[in-house]
Chain A
Amino acid sequence: MISNLNKAFENRVRLGLMSLLMVNEQLDFNSIKEMLEITDGNLASHVTALEKAGYITIMKEFVGRKPQTSYKATAAGIKAFQEHLAALEKLIRKIN
């Protein structure tokens, strides 16, 4: 079946990560980890994949004296995810 589903979002962790970044301007690593209920290593590998695709940007900043890594969806990421969502909805409508 030909569809506009985006391979980058097929994985459940990436799908979850993008969902979070669609509604939160930016989120730190630990908050994401907590909400997706996954391990550090698992999240780190998916973050890298989405960053390579140009869908998210990584920001390092200091909160007090502690370094903190936060993530933000890029304009391209938002657009790609919206298309992915539209494709998902379309597929469901077609099958039902």
Chain B
Amino acid sequence: MHRISVTVNGTTREGEVEARTLLVHWLRDSLGLAGTPIGCDTSNCGACTVLMDGRSVKSCSVLAVQADGSEVTTIQGLANGEWHPVQKAFKECHALQCGYCTPGMITAAVDLLGENPDPTEEEIRHGLEGNLCRCTGYHNIVKAVELAAGEMREAAK
């Protein structure tokens, strides 16, 4: 067993983990942060995407022990008093249906906008290529990211 300490959604969390414990399983099963779902075994779907030290990662493809000392933000930690602009835009644009891909999709979009505040449609689609959605055809997801980008640029002025 390995002792780890990870700042998760702003709070330091400590635990004992087996080496093989995936970050997503630790988040879900040990910390009870079940908002981050698991959608595949092959790191294709991106449903489990979280921010690790500020960048998007697929939490099914990181060992919990590798996250030791890191800062992790999950969908449950994105709102800071009020919803993140991407969360608002997803609701506004009907960018989700079943919602299972949504935590990963939103997290990936937050990462994308952190790097590129004014992306083209093409750049948005590139930025989300690691996240699969089966309900929306991505149409409204792209619209939501465009809306959020505009809101965030406006707020930054």
Physical interaction between A and B: no
Interface, chain B (partner A; CB < 8 A)? none
